[in-house]
Structure 1
């Protein structure tokens, strides 16, 4: 008897694991679904096995959140681990940066760890940039931060020469040259043309 089966390898399955049978069908019989999982692996949101994932993070963060310190927990990673059924371990980049694109096209920092598949994902306040989006996928933002630059207010000062500030130095020089040159030219022009007996300029 011919039997057709729908098989799938679950994400993060070991090489020795057998594929999971999702459904079976034989000629003359109904299509039998043998599991409650969806047919497409991209839709899986919870691991059947409990893999250990490498999480890239800052060294300060990984030192602050120690496994041997029960009073210090990474709530975000712990929430994901419980919801998706995985264990995790921290790794951090040697250059202690979030990651940027280098001249040779590679990436540094935590983005580089994820791009080189040395880490499964990274957690931290990552800013969205086009270069990073070339090699990594961003999750839905969990927080939005606004940055503001502050400066000392000081006391108001009255500058008597403040009226010259709107124009550049070259503009003021051009104005002064025009004020001197135009009247001089107007005074010299009458002597450059002959005048008749009535005092009119002869052209």
Structure 2
């Protein structure tokens, strides 16, 4: 990416993280970057294309970080570490989390096609740990994509309830709740 395009995408991401997706406008980004109102359009055809670039970069960064921080010989340790990283991401960057994982977006990855094709950078981390665990006999043999979807749905559901004020726990208590629920699922799939 050229420097101006990178600057524009970074400004969009900063606004999204600080204020939410509704605050991201091409005019505001131009103002923040100190460029003409048309400059963002020279690099992105529209706001949605810019937001999709932000999403792709964020998903790639998150997946890279997760892969580096979850690498372990024990797939159960990997799965718990991935869950912790998702919880951290949701608690510390809630607006970006919501836009990436729960907001309707035209280019959002969808089950089954995108997930079974390996096109989800973050779900792939779970799928790989589950596949490894099943191959090694640590986890019961099953469809790793569907099991990953079960784990992700459980965590995303709890996070959505927490973000919506429906779970009245501190962040530490919330994390413990997530761990207990994840433990119940892992107990059910352990060989």
Query: TM-score normalised by the shorter chain: which range applies?
Result: under 0.3
Structure in which a larger fraction of residues adopt strand = 1
Report which of the two structures shows the higher radius of gyration computed on alpha carbons.
Answer: 1
TM (normalized to structure 1)?
0.21
Higher relative contact order structure (alpha carbons within 8 Å, sequence separation ≥ 6): 2
Structure with more of its chain in helix, by fraction: 2
